[in-house]
Chain A
Amino acid sequence: MSGYLTGVLVVLAFNVIAAYAVYLPMAAGQLNLGIAGFMAIGAYGAAFLTNEYGWSIWMAVPTASAAAGLVGIVIGIPVLRTHGIYLALATFALGQVIAAIFLNLEVVGGAAGYTVSDYVSPNVVFWAAAGVVVFMLLLSRTRFALYLTAVKSDPTVADLMGISVRGIQVAAFALGAAVAGFGGAFYALHYNFIEAQHFNVLLSVFTVLYVLFGGTQTVWGPLAGAIFFTLMPELLRAGEQWRYAIFAVFIILFMAIRPQGLVTTSLFRIFRRRRSGEAAQ
């Protein structure tokens, strides 16, 4: 595999992980605009534990991921009392606050950034992303995933059916944060250098964009969105300086025509019917 292609695929792997981190709360109807903050916790956590305490990668990554999830629970409980645009603003601010803390934390390099001595190869990153996809596919087959949609569709009825709406929302938010932390940890270990400025609001916003673009109705949406958003600008390289403009126009047109995203439940239904139709013939 050429260095260029490997580089693009590694970016894709990180984008896929980030997309699922955003997707989890979004499936329950919550927009998390602070995902970069949770990635930063995972990245700095894994970097610090391997650098300063000599932890192995296999200990440091789960711990850093769990730390991000724990912060997700602690922050999620008060923050998820807000809804809609206020939740978006609160999570946006949260992402900024976390990045600002790392920017001012001298023990992890402050504004100068932090060099990470341990290294994971692209293959490890690919396996990590594949693991997240498999985990999400399994999770999408459970009642938990069913309740995410139920809570998003009609929280009052979900509550009367006995479902803990707040419990499901906080769990989705925290699990998303843990997935973000997991991705962040591998990011630090693969690129060997992190700085707070990387985990900025654009990273959060772009990730939300892939997920909306791919569609939030099915578990395949974020994967499709991340693939499209990562590979399309590369394919448009022929357009030189116009490539981002072409890409932006394309996104605007697409969202106008198909606001529910690329992959939807009804799309799956059409395929399933066609397949059962063929089987009947």
Chain B
Amino acid sequence: MNATAIAAVPSPAPLASGAQAALVVNGVSKSFAGVHAIRNLSFEVPKGGATALIGPNGAGKTTVFNLVSGVYGVDSGSVHVNGQDITHLPSRQRIGKGIARSFQNVRLMAHLSVLENLLVGQHVRASSLGALLTPYRLFPNHPWKVEARRALAENGLEQYADEMVSALPYGVRKRIDLVRATLAGASVLMLDEPAAGLNPSETNDLRDHLNALVAQGLTLLIVEHDMHFVDSICRNVVVLNFGEKIAEGPLAVVQQNPEVRRAYIGDEEG
């Protein structure tokens, strides 16, 4: 069974204090058919703790996630994760470098059960040919299933393990999407609007969950519109507008920045 067991989750990175950044985006630009989506964007996400990427609709936040995860290639600039250059790495190899993501419109596999979706999330830690061809479903207590069930139980979701994803309410699917992202054993998680569409009690649960992940030493980069939510989790925010960084720093400071205020509420003099 040893050969097919999942490799241990990398030990959590120590909380950073001036240490190497978890994610470095340096001078990245991207245009689509001549339209500049991202312009010369640079920012760092320090190891440990949570950073928010905020900005008005269409500012390019999800595009940044797509560039970092490799859904799109960059036109120029570089992306480093944990000190490794992933700028030109194929998208499927990036999760192995320690960066995973969730999706704005929850993208669980509709034809798979919740447990099976989580097993897909484990792939990067169980990707040998032997692991691929092990008939794990014949063993009720296979370590892969045990681990996935435990992850569900830790989030109070164990009753959904065998449900088809398509039959579940949005809030539950959203949380399962997050659990799946954590199962890759990545040290950096990019979460695209994790609180969108959740009710207040679900949002509270999510906050606890994310704070627990930070306490475990994970680094989070979160795109989010709910500023109370951002304030309760993130030490640092990066503000985008029209694909450019317009401010960076603690939320309370950034909110006082005149350019940020203009971006969000329009030019008051105009």
Tell me the A residues contacting B by CB distance below 8 Å.
138-144, 146-147, 149-150, 152-154, 156-165, 217, 265-266, 269
Contacts and interface: CB of A to CB of B under 8 A. Distances in A.
B164 interface: yes
Contacts of B112: 146, 149-150, 153
A153 B111 contact: yes
Given A141-B137, A146-B119, A154 B96 contact: no
Contacts, number: 89
Interface string B88-127: 0001111110001101000101111000100111011011
Given A143-B126, A144-B133, A159 B91 contact: yes
A164 B71 CA distance: 14
Contact of B123 (A153, A154, A163): A163
B164 A265 contact: yes
B92 A153 contact: no
B120 A161 contact: yes
A165 B92 contact: yes
A146 B109 CA distance: 11
A163 B164 CA distance: 21
A178 to B, nearest CB: 15
Interface in B140-170: 162, 164
Contacts of A147: 120, 123, 132
B246 interface: no
A141 to B, nearest CB: 4
Interface of B: 69-71, 91-96, 100-101, 103, 107, 109-112, 116, 119-121, 123-124, 126-127, 131-138, 162, 164, 184
8 contacts: A143-B133, A149-B116, A152-B111, A153-B109, A156-B71, A160-B101, A161-B184, A162-B123
A150 B127 contact: no
Nearest to B101: A160
A146 B138 CA distance: 14
A149 B109 contact: yes
A143 B71 contact: no
B107 A142 contact: no
A141 B135 contact: yes
Contact of A266 (B133, B137, B164): B164
Given A143-B126, A150-B109, A161 B134 contact: no
A244 B103 CA distance: 49
A166 to B, nearest CB: 10
A160 B164 contact: no
Contacts of A161: 92, 95, 120-121, 123-124, 184
